[in-house]
Structure 1
């Protein structure tokens, strides 16, 4: 997705809120947008989501997009489950898939007990869980989040943190605004600032993700040479490289939410790598387990996820 020379103002002759914005939003990217109140952050997100049209410039290549607004319209005449199923249908899911996905996301956010409750009767926190769930249930190509963590309890914020990084690890683009500077600290590939109608990069963004990491020890298959798969997600750190019994063994560490995608890339390589051990590092306790993946054939499934302090890695 590309923005070229994009500007936005409200009303004929009104002041420019944004002007001259050039931005590429590639698949798998995770972008944080900063700026003071009224700087134009929400306007930029509405342009990205296709809610507003630019007053100048062009936006091209927008993928299927899901958007969580700053304020959720809770007066809609649906139950929580009915609303999510309806939105899933709009996103192109079958009714059965939409209903199943809606139930799964409500359960994941701890709101499954409110599935039959009308939206207008939900608390602000539960309404926000529904707002976030509708954006996630169809795995959009672009996920746009405007203060989506506001109103969520701590557990639900952790679920959303994980869901955001999972979406990026699986190839979706994510752009978000959040008032907490610690939100996903170090995980976004870039941080941008809206100031004086312009969009500019923020220098010295944290380089390493906070929170637990997962270290994967993998053994190269026969005939694979020294080459790792080229599509390793989450920018894994190459910790070490040894040769044992004629085979290459590497250790890679990655932010915990990217661990499943990293394992998938290794196990589905042609030929697949053999996973020797998976270890959670940086949490209260370090744990390791050896997945039961075959040596010479791709695994039918992934190893059981490692549990970190915030839940599933």
Structure 2
């Protein structure tokens, strides 16, 4: 997914974000760092569509998006297991699949008291484990987490790092915020810093533009790593992360497309 020249303003107040250009590629673990109030949570909400930019564009090439907010409002009446089964059914899983997956995740995260513990009795850390489990019930293509390690015990701390790495290795784009330098260094594959609403380091990765002509009318938006598709009378132009464009070239040639040009655009 990509934010291109994104700014965000609430009412007449100063801009929360100003001209942010940021990309998260498939398989990447992006850490957003910065002081409180720097705009990190706003960026995450823009990524998942919970907020809209005042200016600029947000493009998501992901059908399954999961989000873990900084504050998880747990349900008073349901148990952790019942809540996750309910969320699994909403996501299209069968009751059996939802229960199996939720039990697996809660076991790995070591939920205190077990899966049948009522949500109202969960501590902040254990409620966070349920929030993490619901985000991973179905393999996401884009996973966005706001301070996901907050309140977790030492065992779950390491387990979460493993789960995020596994998710990225399965082809998802993962973005998270975190204050701990050690956690960021041990988890992230790229780090971006926000300061007063502006991206001051770790700017967007280099992109490659591929121009194609002829061949079948493929749905390029569903191809791995394709961030943007521009169609015209002569063919199609694809925008992909540099280093991740070989698969698109192979697909194009396999389907009889002609490659007009391949060039870096930034």
Q: What TM-score do the two structures reach when normalised by structure 2?
A: 0.71
Partner of 1:151: 151
Query: How far apart in 2 are the matches of 1:26 and 1:69?
Result: 21
Shift of 1:95: 2.4
Query: How far apart in 2 are the matches of 1:109 and 1:84?
Result: 14
Query: How far apart in 2 are the matches of 1:112 and 1:84?
Result: 16
Query: How far apart in 2 are the matches of 1:176 and 1:195?
Result: 16
Query: How far apart in 2 are the matches of 1:102 and 1:187?
Result: 23
* Aligned pairs (5 A) from 1:1-313: 1-10=1-10, 12-63=11-62, 64-111=64-111, 113-202=113-202
Query: How far apart in 1 are the matches of 2:93 and 2:14?
Result: 41
What is the SS of the residue equivalent to 1:155? helix
Shift of 1:94: 2.3
Instruction: Work out whether residues 18 and 197 of structure 2, in 8 Å CA contact, stay in contact via their aligned partners in 1.
Output: yes
Is the alpha carbon distance of 1:184 and 1:18 closer, same or farther for their aligned partners in structure 2, counting shifts above 3 Å? Answer: closer
What is the SS of the residue equivalent to 1:160? helix
Query: How far apart in 1 are the matches of 2:187 and 2:74?
Result: 31
Q: What TM-score do the two structures reach when normalised by structure 1?
A: 0.61
Q: How many residues align?
A: 202
Instruction: Work out whether residues 79 and 117 of structure 1, in 8 Å CA contact, stay in contact via their aligned partners in 2.
Output: yes
Larger CA deviation: 15-24 vs 106-115: 106-115
Query: How far apart in 1 are the matches of 2:86 and 2:54?
Result: 31
Shift of 1:14: 2.2
Is the alpha carbon distance of 1:98 and 1:26 closer, same or farther for their aligned partners in structure 2, counting shifts above 3 Å? Answer: same
Shift of 1:7: 1.6
Shift of 1:62: 4.3
What is the SS of the residue equivalent to 1:185? helix
Query: How far apart in 2 are the matches of 1:155 and 1:67?
Result: 22
What is the SS of the residue equivalent to 1:182? helix
Shift of 1:184: 4.4
Instruction: Flag structure 1 segments of 5+ consecutive residues without an equivalent.
Output: 204-313
Instruction: Work out whether residues 67 and 143 of structure 1, in 8 Å CA contact, stay in contact via their aligned partners in 2.
Output: yes
Is the alpha carbon distance of 1:127 and 1:187 closer, same or farther for their aligned partners in structure 2, counting shifts above 3 Å? Answer: closer
Instruction: Work out whether residues 190 and 201 of structure 1, in 8 Å CA contact, stay in contact via their aligned partners in 2.
Output: no
Is the alpha carbon distance of 1:124 and 1:44 closer, same or farther for their aligned partners in structure 2, counting shifts above 3 Å? Answer: same
Query: How far apart in 2 are the matches of 1:132 and 1:61?
Result: 21
Query: How far apart in 1 are the matches of 2:147 and 2:12?
Result: 29
Instruction: Work out whether residues 49 and 65 of structure 1, in 8 Å CA contact, stay in contact via their aligned partners in 2.
Output: yes
Query: How far apart in 2 are the matches of 1:90 and 1:179?
Result: 33
Query: How far apart in 1 are the matches of 2:99 and 2:61?
Result: 26
Shift of 1:177: 0.9
**Greater per-residue helix proportion:** 2
What is the SS of the residue equivalent to 2:174? strand
What is the SS of the residue equivalent to 1:59? strand
Query: How far apart in 1 are the matches of 2:71 and 2:84?
Result: 17
